Amino acid sequence: MGFLSRSWAIAQKDIVAELRTRETVISMLLFGFLVILIFNFGIEPGLREENLVKPGVLWAAFTFAGILGLNRSFAQEKENDCLQGLLLCPVDRAVIYLGKFFGNLVFTAIMGVVVFIFFSVLYNVDLVGALLPMVLILLLASVGFSSVGTLFSSVSVGLKTRDVLLSILLFPVMVPVILAAAKSSARVLDGDGLGAGSLWLGLLVVYDVVFLAISVMVFDYTVEE
């Protein structure tokens, strides 16, 4: 059984646990819906600049809801000290990181797509035309978000102030992802298609590759005693 299949075993374990408790994804979705709803009340109907505001609303909801999932990610490994059990396994630390990353990616991507569908109903977005390009943007943003988020979640898990610390650590590093995702989705929501935002998509891809590689390399140092 190879490197990736053992990582997948870790992700699969997280997914099975989530299917049983439904704690993480449900709370992420509810929080995402609430953020969108609150912004919806705050934005005046028929506002001329509404199109400029919309992507910001979507990505604010994505980021805040995503943080909830990341906070749970390593917290569940602390129950019964399971993280130590994992670290005792004869696997490379990168296997553990990638396993947790895959799990977070699945939860974040699902949350992103469902929140977008809810958003499109409330903000009158052409769902049929926008869904596929938006799914691609959401997926790329989820990779960047989960890669750095998984790393920082492992850093903050042992601390009493982990909820606050994770947000403080993560948000500044996530700026390029949120910026690129908001800019490219603005083009899609305007009906210009993915091509118009290709530069921003390129930035997302580069961010994903660079930060995933860095996270794999430094994860070892975050979990060693």
Judged by the rule CB under 8 A, the positions of this chain that interact with another protein are: 1, 5-6, 9, 13, 16-17, 20-21, 76, 79-82, 84-92, 224-225
Q: How far apart are CA 219 and CA 94, in angstroms?
A: 7
Least distance (Å) between residue 150 CB and another protein: 18
Nearer to another protein by Cβ, of 6 and 110: the residue is 6
Maximum separation of any 2 CA atoms in the chain, in Å: 59
Coil/strand/helix, residue 191: coil
Nearer to another protein by Cβ, of 81 and 126: the residue is 81
Least distance (Å) between residue 111 CB and another protein: 19
Q: How far apart are CA 138 and CA 169, in angstroms?
A: 22
Least distance (Å) between residue 79 CB and another protein: 6
Coil/strand/helix, residue 124: coil
Least distance (Å) between residue 12 CB and another protein: 8
Nearer to another protein by Cβ, of 192 and 220: the residue is 220
Q: How far is CA 97 from the centre of its chain?
A: 15
Indicate the length of the chain as a whole number.
225
Nearer to another protein by Cβ, of 1 and 175: the residue is 1
Least Cα distance to 152 among 104, 88, 89 occurs for 104
